[in-house]
Amino acid sequence: MEIKCVGILTSGGDAPAMNAAIRAVTRAAIYNGFEVKGIMRGYKGLISGEIIPFKTQNVSNIIKQGGTILKTARCQEFTTPEGRKIAYETMQKEGIDALVVIGGDGSLTGARVFASEYNIPIVGLPGTIDNDLYGTDTTIGYDTALNTIMEAVDKLRDTASSHERLFFVEVMGRNAGFLALNGAIATGAEAAIIPEIATEVDQLAELIQNGFRKSKNSSIVLVAESEVTGGAMGLAKRVEEEYPQYDVRVTILGHIQRGGSPTASDRIIASRMGEAAINALLEGQRNVMIGIQNDEIVYVPFSKAIRNDKPINRDLLNTVKILSI
């Protein structure tokens, strides 16, 4: 089937540079002769019909804005066959023949189910600060979030060293430790506690046994939010009970990690990936996520991208340890 009109939506957790991706998809689509429609609030807008025709000027001046001009949402109804049927009917009514879905692992899972039920060409873009999608070196928003973490932890270091305290700083990542681990390297933190190895080693006990505080007047440990690590609160509770000699403080960075003007690196990958999404549709690709591996654009089948076991470079844990002696 010939594609005439491409719909774009952002779904799930928002991430910086989603706007840069929306801009790139819109402009590349129009350049190649497609019509473009912006779908508001993710799958919700596809069900309710909240859809806006997009011209090149609809995406003017958004490359530097955080958040997403299309808004995002979580949509329970789309997880049901009835909800997806309404979404499909909206697409028919609006004349949308293909979709570009920008979002994380949940959003791409939804895209995969929808595409298989209705035989619709869908291309995904990895929009998440967590960097937890398989088959791409990085995701849209990850670098900006990492920089936000770096700035926040730099500030905490000033106060931590004035008081000789142990700080647990909880960062996002869902079940992935990329933000914690690379955030730890970027800030010279004493350790990172990540979910990928949580079931294999007692990272807290190891940290204390390593005598991490001996020659220092402050210690900062980046902790990935996750049930398996216990999060920063869970670890602080353990320290209070098991190692009461330490004065512990907890900082949960929370949603500030999602905001802010995107870094150059995020703007560039979002722009390249957005253009690549349209090239993929032109080439007849469907059910693929655009990824970047070794600076080259790659197509990753949805089934692979959402596998949920993106490997982390464990050598970097050692790097953190060696560089913080």
Active-site residues, by number, are 130
Distance CA 228, CA 297 (A): 33
Q: Quick one: 25 or 204, whose CB is closer to ligand ADP? A: 25
Q: Quick one: 11 or 263, whose CB is closer to ligand ADP? A: 11
CB atoms under 10 Å from CB of 70, counted, come to 24
E strand segments, the chain: 5-11, 35-39, 51-54, 98-103, 122-126, 166-171, 191-193, 219-224, 248-252, 288-293, 296-301
| Least gap, CB of 151 to ligand ADP (angstroms) | 24
Residues 212, 324: contact at Cβ < 8 Å? Answer: yes
Q: Quick one: 116 or 217, whose CB is closer to ligand ADP? A: 116
Return residues touching ligand ADP (CB under 6 A): 11-13, 43, 74-75, 78-79, 103-107, 109-110, 113, 128
SS3 92: helix
| Least gap, CB of 13 to ligand ADP (angstroms) | 4
Q: Quick one: 251 or 257, whose CB is closer to ligand ADP? A: 257
| Least gap, CB of 223 to ligand ADP (angstroms) | 21
Q: Which residue has the tokens 């309404």?
A: 86
Token output for 122: 């869908």
| Least gap, CB of 15 to ligand ADP (angstroms) | 8
Distance CA 175, CA 25 (A): 29
Residue with smallest beta-carbon separation from ligand ADP: 106
